[in-house]
A and B are shown apart, each in its own frame.
Chain A
Amino acid sequence: MNEKQSKLRAKDGLYIAMMIVPLVVAMIIKIVTTPASEGISISGARIFLEIPMPLMPLLITEAQVNSWLIMITILGVCLFLTNGIHENRGDWRQMGAEWLVEKLDGLVGENMEPVFHASYAPFVGAVMSLSVFSSLMSLFGVYPPTSDLNVVGGWAILVFILITKNKLKAGVGYYAKGYLEPIPVMLPMNIISEVATPVSMAFRHFGNVLSGSVISALVAWALAGASAALLGWLPGFLGEFPYLRVGLPAILSAYFDVFSGCIQAFIFSMLTMLYISGAYPGDELEARKARLAQQH
């Protein structure tokens, strides 16, 4: 028993390390790759590596590396919560994991049709946790992957594929007919609204996170100027130190990073559920089944 417990402890240590080390690595990468001359600036993701490919070079950017690190962190959290899980007895970790899974199942159960309950809860949970962790990365001063359009755009395309897959469930003919409704003249409008779904999802998330980081950078820049104007007369290092930048931007960050990031993650997964659920042609499938039953 004792030996088993110590084994569990060692594994727990490994998982806790899996949670924390990626964040530290991300911070170290940020510190190492930012040139010293660069003050507060608003720029896109830094490009670490360019791999030549036949069509166009494959870029390994800061956003990609950070999202890999976040995936490792989330995996560590999941493994830590489910380590030593048992059917009959439960400790706080198991309770926490069960609470999370129950909440997620409840959310999916409320917003999706019954066909999807079992299969889509893990996907929605994965999107939501990835989005929350990515947006909260900016609390550590690291480039949040969600403020890169490519990352969020990738998620939105994934959702778009799932929507189309569910629309195709009642056959290609029925799917194509959907574009000609209510009248055939509406075809271009319908195509535009179809394409607008992933675009608007991606831009909503990206714009919110990006605007937060831009406003934070502008406020930090303005506060540096203000403290130079107010306290610049102090001699030497005392005069150069930006006093107003200590702590004050954190108040804004509570709204822009924590609140906005979590709300956008919730909305992204909510829209994922609603769009996928709305794409499912349940009535048509039911009607078809009824017609088949009548014929036989």
Chain B
Amino acid sequence: MLELAIGIILGCCALGAGCAMIAGIGPGIGEGNAVAKACEAIGRQPECKGSVTSTMIMGCAIAETTGIYALVVAILLIFVAPNTLVGVLKAALGL
């Protein structure tokens, strides 16, 4: 029975990590848009290349934030949560 419970915990943690990374779609689209617009801007005004590029990198890094949150959640679910949850389960069972 305990094996089954631990198996469910591990499987659900992996599943949750996978689901969390769906959030990677948003930053991907957002950064793609930003880069496309930056390319357009450079094509229109090549003399502004420097400032456009630095602004774009800044914006990309901020757009990346939500993806990074998802990544942190996924990493926690894979590397931290199983140990903690199994510990909680064992404590509850008095093992």
A-B pairs with beta carbons under 8 Å apart, 9 shown = A42-B79, A203-B65, A203-B69, A208-B68, A210-B72, A211-B68, A211-B71, A263-B61, A264-B61
When chains A and B are docked, how far (Å) is the Cα of A18 from the Cα of B75?
A: 36
Size category of the B interface is: 10 to 19
When chains A and B are docked, how far (Å) is the Cα of A206 from the Cα of B68?
A: 9
Q: In the assembled complex, how far is the CB of residue A146 from the closest CB belonging to chain B, in whole angstroms?
A: 13
Residues of A near B62 (CB, < 8 A) are: 204, 267
Task: Decide if B65 touches A204 in the complex (CB within 8 Å).
Answer: yes
Q: In the assembled complex, how far is the CB of residue A149 from the closest CB belonging to chain B, in whole angstroms?
A: 9
**Contact A210 B61, CB 8 Å, known A203-B68, A203-B69, A204-B68:** no
CB of B57 within 8 A of chain A? yes
A69-120 contacts to B (CB < 8 Å): none
When chains A and B are docked, how far (Å) is the Cα of A214 from the Cα of B68?
A: 13
B75 interface neighbour in A200, A214, A266, Cβ under 8 Å: A214
When chains A and B are docked, how far (Å) is the Cα of A94 from the Cα of B58?
A: 30
When chains A and B are docked, how far (Å) is the Cα of A200 from the Cα of B58?
A: 15
B68 interface neighbour in A207, A263, A270, Cβ under 8 Å: A207
The chain B residues found within 8 Å of chain A, CB to CB, are: 57-58, 61-62, 64-65, 68-69, 71-72, 75, 79
Give the dominant DSSP class at A's interface: helix
Give the dominant DSSP class at B's interface: helix
Q: In the assembled complex, how far is the CB of residue A127 from the closest CB belonging to chain B, in whole angstroms?
A: 16
The chain A residues found within 8 Å of chain B, CB to CB, are: 42, 200, 203-204, 206-208, 210-211, 214, 263-264, 266-267, 270
Residues of B near A270 (CB, < 8 A) are: 58
Residues of A near B57 (CB, < 8 A) are: 263
Instruction: Give the residue among B57, B71, B72 with the most A Cβ atoms within 10 A.
Output: B72
Among residues of A, the one whose C-beta sits closest to the C-beta of B57 is A263
Residues of B near A206 (CB, < 8 A) are: 72
When chains A and B are docked, how far (Å) is the Cα of A240 from the Cα of B16?
A: 36
- Apart from A200-B65, A203-B69, A206-B72, 11 more pairs, CB < 8 Å: A42-B79, A203-B68, A204-B61, A207-B68, A207-B69, A208-B64, A208-B68, A214-B75, A264-B61, A267-B62, A270-B58
When chains A and B are docked, how far (Å) is the Cα of A207 from the Cα of B68?
A: 6
When chains A and B are docked, how far (Å) is the Cα of A207 from the Cα of B65?
A: 8
Q: In the assembled complex, how far is the CB of residue A268 from the closest CB belonging to chain B, in whole angstroms?
A: 10
A267 interface neighbour in B58, B72, B75, B79, Cβ under 8 Å: B58
